[in-house]
Structure 1
Amino acid sequence: MKTVKMKSQSELNEELENYFSNTIIPQLFVDANLLLQKFTPPAMKQFSLKHEFIGLPIQDIKEHFRYPTLIDNIKVVIATGKILEKEIQTTDLRWYQMNILPYHIRRENRTNGVIITFVNITNRIQDLKEQEKLIAEYELLLDTIAHDIKNPILALDLTIQVLNRPGKNAEQHATLLKNMASSIIEIKKVVDEMAGAHWNKERYQSVEELLDLQNILEDVRLTLAPQIMESGAIIKQEIDVSEIKFVRRKLRSVLFNLLSNAIKYTASDLRPEIVIRTYAKDNFMVIEIADNGIGISKEDQLSIFEKFRRAKVEVEGTGVGLYLVYTVVVNAGGKVTVESEPGKGSTFKVFLKLKDT
């Protein structure tokens, strides 16, 4: 029978030493007493380790790893003998794939420490975040397009209903036909943008430009002309700050949804009265839209910015408008607030960062 020669402890230590000297990724060997016994040269660079740290308790040098729960993770692996794998972010904002493997001495049937491997995945995490951002932007784009194409269709439907009512004179007919033409132009614009986004990805990217808020408001007012005429809405403007650097379609969507809601959520026996104010505050442009509508309860105010959540189901809508407003503004570093009481109207305030132009 062939005799298998067991390797001596010195031979095992030499192999371990050779392994750590030639490994090209950051790796540590911490023994069962939580003393740092070995580390690879890349670990010296990544975590500024020094040879004199060998033999020191990991507790004394834990700041070099900039990961607060490292010692607790090591203790768990030593106690359970199970591998621990996790993605971690250190306090210097780098990301690592950390693997903690139990170091077994088989002939003694015990765990004599752990080997810890760190693989820098910062670039991968950043790429994933960029992809998530693009996906979120694309989803927001789809929601916006679906919402934008619905609005002129509703305006067309409303105009046709008004046209079918008896007693219209030539001037009223001309106004209504103009509203229909405007709605058709809006639908064509959205369809063209959809096609452009498909064939030319640059076309629908979020490109900021210097905008005049009053021009955007006029565009929105023309789009809402059928609703304004049907409701008899009175819209006043008090514009102190007009210029802002923002994405045109997004600012238009924010204003459209807030104004459309202000008209829509008004008691049937009242004429909508809306005041639009803008002013500067703490390096923000504040767009304030106040109405005399039906108001929103405190309870409903907690959920109105959630997707598909609607405070009043008896009023036609999809529950997407305020979600789009909130998402666009927050993603741009701003915020949206609401002050309202049932029966006393609502005031929405949009805070948009003022940037160097």
Structure 2
Amino acid sequence: MQTKSQQISDLVTLNEELENYFANTIIPQLFVDSELILRKFTPPAMKQFSLKADFIGRSIMDVHENFRFPTIIENIKTVIATGKILEKEIQTTDMHWFQMNILPYINRRDNKTNGVIITFVDITARVKDLRDQEKLVAEHELLLDSIAHDIKNPILALSLSLSAMKLDVEKKAERLPKLIDAMERSLNNIKNVVEDLVQGHWDKQRNESAEELIDLGNIVDDVRLSIPSLIHESGAIIETDLKATEITFVRRKLRSILYNLVSNAIKYTPKDRKPHVKIHSEKCGDYMLLKVSDNGIGLTEEAKTIIFEKFKRVKTSVEGSGVGLYLVHTIVNNAGGKIEIENNAEVGSAFKIFLKN
């Protein structure tokens, strides 16, 4: 049994280790006790949130504005009351994004929550990267489609015209056959350039877009981070019910499917109501069913016949290019999947995406 002096010595050692940890960690962290008193913070937290040494011992409520996140007090109280970890992405008022983790600090003697440790990981660059990726995906897919279809069609028409001209050439027209031959060579050169360009892009695409085992929850988080302003300004609620979470798919393509469906659901919700988007997944035979439903304007039967066409839009008053659902349809079809639409006009829509798994 330890003597009192040994117990004190052990406590001093533990305190020194804790002090050393807080002094040397490179992550912004706070320690707030169960009375909401700020007990410790790391140097990165001091720098990031403009904290001062004399803040130690003060109520977190006195300095909460430094964190530029309005619900931090409420989140701390929830973790202290429930003893459960809280993880969420937050945007501070200075437009920075953080992965905030609030962990309960459990007193092992009585197994009660004696406070919380809060960790902030700056993910601003990740959010920007996700936005840029979505933009590049749309532009890249559209470029490849234009090359593969729109450019090849007029070349085919020109080729057919040349063939017809050959049939009508009179033998005495000596220069015309040579001219046609020259045009034919040029046409073949154009075909080769287009085919090389398309093939080169697709080969690169295949190399960079290998299928992998993906957690759907991570994709949902990425989508949230891709449209923070849209969610914040509209007050949108995104609800998840993921009964199946793992699928083998190309990550950027799955993200593009969800990104376009969720952003459209928010954009096409009337201004007099808050968007409520539900993301549901479940195993359905050989498929994963991914269902995105909303409380938006709904789709008429006429709208359902055109929404997957390129550059077609249900309402021109809503910001967009008419490419999003076209890309969704193309990605799903190319992957051997299918899309179904459930809706009643004026009360929302539900897109059911079936992806082979």
> Which of the five TM-score ranges fits, normalised by the shorter chain?
0.3 to 0.5
TM-score, structure 2 normalization: 0.47
TM-score, structure 1 normalization: 0.47
Q: Which has the larger radius of gyration?
A: 1
